[in-house]
C-alpha cells in the first residue's frame, strides 16, 4: 500500500514546488518587501508641524509629507490628534490621550481644526502610517487660540441717567454711574463728555457728529465731570459716551441744564419794606431772597 501511494505524493509535492516557484517569479520586489515591512515611515522635515490661520476657535495645521522605504508617499495615511496637555508625543500616547480631528486620510499635509475654546493652549500631533500598518508620530506642536473678539459695547450704569449739580452761571457738575462691560474691567472703561446747545447728541453717532468733546479722547474710570466755561443763562445739553478696550462705545442719556442768568439791567418789580432789620439778602438767578426778622423769607423776582 505504501509503495502504491508514495509515487503519487511525490508527484504532488513536485507539482506544488513548481507552482510556488512560478508565482514568486511573477512577483516584483516591492510585493515581496511589503509582506515583511516592519519599519515605520519617517515624518517629513524632522516631524515639524506648523500652524496658520489661528482664531479663537480654530486653526490650520501644516506638515511635510513623510517617506517610507516600501510604501509610496501617496499611499501613506495621516491622523491628526490634539490635547490640552502635552501627552500626545508618541503614537501610543496620541491614540490613548488625544482627540482625533476626524478620520485618517491619505497623502495630506494640511488639516483644519475647528471647535476649539478661545484663549486656550492646545497640543497637536500627526500620526503617519504605511501600508503595512507601521506608524510614526510627528513632533508635538503647541499653539494657543486667540481671545474672543469683543464686539459688545459697555452698558451705561443706572440706565444711563446723568444728573447735574453745583450749577452756576458758567459751570456745573455732571454725575453718572459707572458702566460695566463683559470683557473690559470697569476700571479700564473710558468716558468722553459731550456738550451741545441743541438736543442732538442722544446717540454715539450723534454725539460724535454734533457734540463738542470736553475731555479730549476721554478719561478713564470717572463718574463725574466738572464743566466750566459756560455762558450765563444758557441751556446746554450734555451726554457721556463710554468706551471699552476694544473700542466699542455706548451713549448715556442726554441731560439738559440751563446755567444761572444774572440780571444785567435789573428792573424793580416790587418792594418790600422791612419793618425791622433785613437779616440777609441772597440773589440767585432772577430771584432775591430776603430774610426778614418779622415776616420771614420774602422772595422778589428780578427781571433782566
Ligand atoms: Ca514602512
Ligand atoms: Ca465689550
The string of pLDDT tens digits covering residues 161-185 is 999 999 988 999 999 999 999 999 9
- Beta carbons of 156 and 242 less than 8 angstroms apart: yes
pLDDT, tens digit (0-9, with 9 covering 90-100), for 151-162 = 999 999 999 999
DSSP H or E run through 137: strand 135-137
Instruction: Check whether 279 has a pLDDT greater than 90.
Output: no
Cα 139 to ligand 1 centre (Å): 19
Q: Which ligand is nearest to the CA of 73?
A: 1
Cα 22 to ligand 1 centre (Å): 27
DSSP H or E run through 34: helix 29-34
pLDDT, residue 261, reads: 79
Cα 223 to ligand 2 centre (Å): 18
Options 3.30.930.10, 3.30.499.10, 3.60.20.10, 2.60.40.10; CATH of 44-144? 2.60.40.10
* DSSP codes, 170-183: S-EEEEEPPPB-SS
In whole angstroms, give the CA distance from residue 297 to residue 213. 42
Q: Which ligand is nearest to the CA of 68?
A: 1
Nearest CA to 238 out of 267, 220, 212, 276 is that of 212
Cα 77 to ligand 2 centre (Å): 45
- Beta carbons of 38 and 51 less than 8 angstroms apart: no
Instruction: Check whether 12 has a pLDDT greater than 50.
Output: no
Top CATH class, 157-258: mainly beta
Query: Domain spans of the chain?
Result: 44-144, 157-258, 262-304
Q: Which ligand is nearest to the CA of 150?
A: 2
In whole angstroms, give the CA distance from residue 237 to residue 254. 6
CATH fold match for the domains 44-144 and 157-258: yes
- Beta carbons of 77 and 52 less than 8 angstroms apart: no
Rounded to a whole number of angstroms, the distance between the first and last alpha carbons of the chain is: 149
Taking CA atoms, 287 is separated from 272, 281, 292, in Å, by: 13, 10, 15
pLDDT, tens digit (0-9, with 9 covering 90-100), for 42-83 = 999 999 999 999 999 999 999 999 999 999 999 999 999 999
Cα 151 to ligand 2 centre (Å): 6
Instruction: Check whether 97 has a pLDDT greater than 90.
Output: yes
pLDDT, residue 102, reads: 86
Cα 35 to ligand 1 centre (Å): 10
Q: Which ligand is nearest to the CA of 134?
A: 1
pTM of whole model > 0.75?
no
Amino acid at each position: 500500500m505504501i509503495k502504491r501511494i508514495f509515487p503519487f505524493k511525490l508527484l504532488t509535492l513536485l507539482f506544488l514546488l513548481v507552482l510556488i516557484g512560478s508565482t514568486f517569479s511573477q512577483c516584483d520586489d516591492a510585493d515581496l518587501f511589503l509582506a515583511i515591512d516592519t519599519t515605520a515611515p519617517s515624518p517629513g522635515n524632522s516631524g515639524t508641524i506648523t500652524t496658520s490661520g489661528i482664531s479663537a476657535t480654530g486653526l490650520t495645521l501644516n506638515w511635510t509629507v513623510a517617506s517610507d522605504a516600501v510604501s509610496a508617499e501617496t499611499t501613506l495615511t495621516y491622523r491628526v490628534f490634539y490635547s490640552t496637555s502635552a501627552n500626545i508625543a508618541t503614537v501610543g500616547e496620541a491614540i490613548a490621550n488625544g482627540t482625533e480631528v476626524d478620520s485618517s486620510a491619505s497623502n495630506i499635509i494640511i488639516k483644519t481644526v475647528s471647535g476649539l475654546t478661545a484663549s486656550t493652549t492646545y497640543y497637536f500631533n500627526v500620526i503617519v502610517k504605511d501600508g503595512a500598518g507601521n506608524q510614526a508620530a510627528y513632533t508635538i506642536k503647541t499653539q494657543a487660540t486667540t481671545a474672543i473678539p469683543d464686539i459688545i459695547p459697555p452698558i451705561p450704569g443706572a440706565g444711563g441717567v446723568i444728573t447735574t449739580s453745583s450749577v452756576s452761571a458758567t459751570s456745573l457738575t455732571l454725575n453718572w454711574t459707572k458702566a460695566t462691560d463683559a470683557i473690559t474691567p470697569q476700571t479700564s472703561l473710558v468716558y468722553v463728555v459731550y456738550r451741545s446747545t441743541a438736543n442732538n447728541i442722544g446717540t454715539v453717532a450723534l454725539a460724535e457728529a454734533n457734540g463738542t468733546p470736553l475731555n479730549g479722547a476721554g478719561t478713564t474710570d470717572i463718574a463725574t465731570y466738572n464743566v466750566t466755561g459756560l455762558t450765563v443763562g444758557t441751556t446746554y445739553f450734555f451726554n457721556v459716551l463710554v468706551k471699552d478696550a476694544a473700542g466699542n462705545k455706548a451713549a448715556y442719556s442726554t441731560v439738559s441744564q440751563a446755567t444761572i442768568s444774572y440780571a444785567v439791567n435789573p428792573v424793580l418789580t416790587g418792594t418790600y419794606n422791612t419793618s425791622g432789620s433785613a437779616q440777609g439778602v441772597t440773589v440767585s438767578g432772577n430771584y432775591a431772597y430776603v430774610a426778614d426778622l418779622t415776616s420771614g423769607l420774602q422772595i422778589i423776582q428780578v427781571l433782566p
